[in-house]
Amino acid sequence: MILENISSNKVCEGWHKQYTHNSKVLNCEMRFAIFLPPQASANNPVPVLYWLSGLTCSDENFMQKAGAQKMAAKLGVAIVAPDTSPRGEDVADDINKAYDLGLGAGFYINATQAPWNKHYQMYDYIVHELPALIETNFPVTTQRAISGHSMGGHGALTIGLRNPELYQSISAFSPICNPINCPWGEKAFSAYLGTDSEDWKIYDSCELLAKTTSHQPILIDQGSNDSFLQTQLKPENLMAIANKKNSLLTLNMREGYDHSYYFISSFIDSHLEFHAAHLGLTQQS
């Protein structure tokens, strides 16, 4: 598969690069960003943290606003930030161009309903196609961790929980924890997956955590002043299941923080350290 490099910036002794490529799974051209820490070389491949962004985002929001590169460079971990939906002229979008359905709102699921199913196969793209591309073209190992924000936090939790053998650790900022029981999830899942809510459960972290038999480490940070907390995010639903099952889930409620990248940038270092510990990396000065 051909990758086209469209930008390169040196940052924290490593490199931030953007690429475009033709996605077979999504049936369109896609763009992603990668941060390669200074340690990464053919003789010293590094593990990868996949970052899934939230509604309205592209590969750029996290890379430009989270300030993750300094710690990732210290720890020696690569970060890959994909886009949040398929893109292009012929890709279906919401008729009202709503921010929470269609472009920028792929929800990291495989759509089964027309017209969405032609392109909206973000689950397969994130789990299979993109890592294969990254592992073929960059000095990285097959070790993966996964994290994300809001819709991307839902993506990280569900993808991580469904594939414990592929992801060493899972983290999330302000994740949509129970999409089958909130307006964002109900709207997107009924469009992409149809109206039978039984079919939605394989993309709901509460349902998945209740059923899993593996004990993956999970870290969640949530701001107490997040305007979406009560209506859309519902971390208490996930916590109740985690407590019942003795899951390795830590939920940090952060007083006064909101839903923005100001919040993410305040705690991203601790998430990188959490993943590094589970990937067997130690901080280098």
Q: Active-site residues: which are they?
A: 150, 226, 259
In the set 48, 55, 75, 229, which binds ligand GSH (CB under 6 A)? 55
The kind and range of the H/E element at 7 are: strand 3-11
Residue 54 binds to ligand GSH (criterion: CB under 6 A): yes
Return the DSSP state at 49: E
Per-residue burial over 80-91, b if 16 or more Cβ lie within 10 Å, else e, is: bbbbbbbbeeeb
Residue 149: name the closest of 265, 48, 275, 31 by CA: 265
- Sorted by sequence, the CB contacts under 8 Å of residue 285 that are 6+ apart come out as 74
| Minimum gap (Å) between residue 142 Cβ and ligand GSH | 29
Piece in contact with ligand GSH (CB under 6 A), picked from 28-36, 51-59, 125-133, 162-170: 51-59
By CB under 6 A, the residues from 143 to 202 that bind ligand GSH are: 149-151
The H or E element that residue 158 is part of is helix 151-162
Closest contact distance (angstroms) between CB of 87 and ligand GSH is 16
Residue 230 touching ligand GSH (CB under 6 A): no
Among 11, 12, 28, 56, interactor with ligand GSH by CB under 6 A:
56
Closest contact distance (angstroms) between CB of 204 and ligand GSH is 18
- Residue number, 122 or 133, with CB nearest to ligand GSH: 122
Q: Does 225 bind ligand GSH (CB under 6 A)?
A: no
Torsion of CA 164, 168, 170, 171, to 10 degrees: 180
Instruction: For residue 250, give the nearest of 195, 192, 167, 172 by alpha carbon.
Output: 172
Residue numbers 252-281 binding ligand GSH by CB under 6 A: 259-261
Minimum CB separation of residue 21 from ligand GSH in Å reads 24
C-alpha–C-alpha distance, residues 50 and 262, integer Å = 20
List contacts with ligand GSH (CB under 6 A): 54-57, 61, 65, 99, 149-151, 259-261
